[in-house]
């Protein structure tokens, strides 16, 4: 049953990532920089930080379907890697550097912020 819950959470997380990317692309015309994935990874890191803090500080049981399933599929290191390499291959070195720094340090900072706040 746990595997089904994780798969369902993952399906919802993947759909939300796709939906958010399409939604943002329709509103913001930034083709050279993968802004949607940066924001998704920031949101996912913040959300997982909230879930972790609630679980540890308030002894709540956060379902694996949420932590591993939803957040695991909502955020993605593989897409981050693909987009970073694409920027490098296109010789967009400044965008590649900004993307890598913003994704990694922003995600860690937002996780820590959420964990601290909650």
Which candidate, 61, 50, 57, 49, places its Cα nearest to that of 5? Answer: 61
Which candidate, 7, 23, 12, places its Cα nearest to that of 47? Answer: 12
pLDDT for 59 beyond 90: no
What is the DSSP code (8-state) at residue 33?
A: S
- Give the residue numbers spanning the domain of 55: 2-117
61 phi, psi to nearest 5 deg:
-100, 105
**3-13 pLDDT per residue, tens:** 999 999 999 99
Binding residues: 72, 75
pLDDT at position 76 is: 85
pLDDT at position 30 is: 76
- pTM score: 0.85
What domain count does the chain have? 1
pLDDT at position 78 is: 84
**62-83 pLDDT per residue, tens:** 899 999 999 999 998 888 999 9
Give the helix ranges, DSSP H, for the chain. 2-27, 35-57, 64, 71-74, 77-89, 93-117
Binding residues for Na(+): 72, 75
């Amino acid at each position: 049953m746990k595997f089904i819950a994780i798969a369902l959470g993952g399906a919802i997380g993947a759909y939300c990532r796709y939906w958010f990317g399409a939604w943002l692309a329709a509103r913001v015309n930034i083709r050279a920089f993968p802004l949607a994935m940066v924001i998704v990874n920031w949101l996912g890191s913040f959300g997982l930080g909230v879930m972790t803090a609630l679980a540890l500080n308030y002894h709540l049981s956060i379902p694996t379907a949420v932590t591993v399933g939803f957040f695991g599929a909502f955020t993605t290191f593989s897409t981050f890697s693909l987009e970073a390499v694409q920027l490098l291959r296109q010789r967009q070195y400044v965008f590649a550097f900004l993307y890598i720094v913003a994704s990694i340090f922003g995600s860690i900072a937002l996780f820590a912020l959420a964990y601290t706040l909650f």
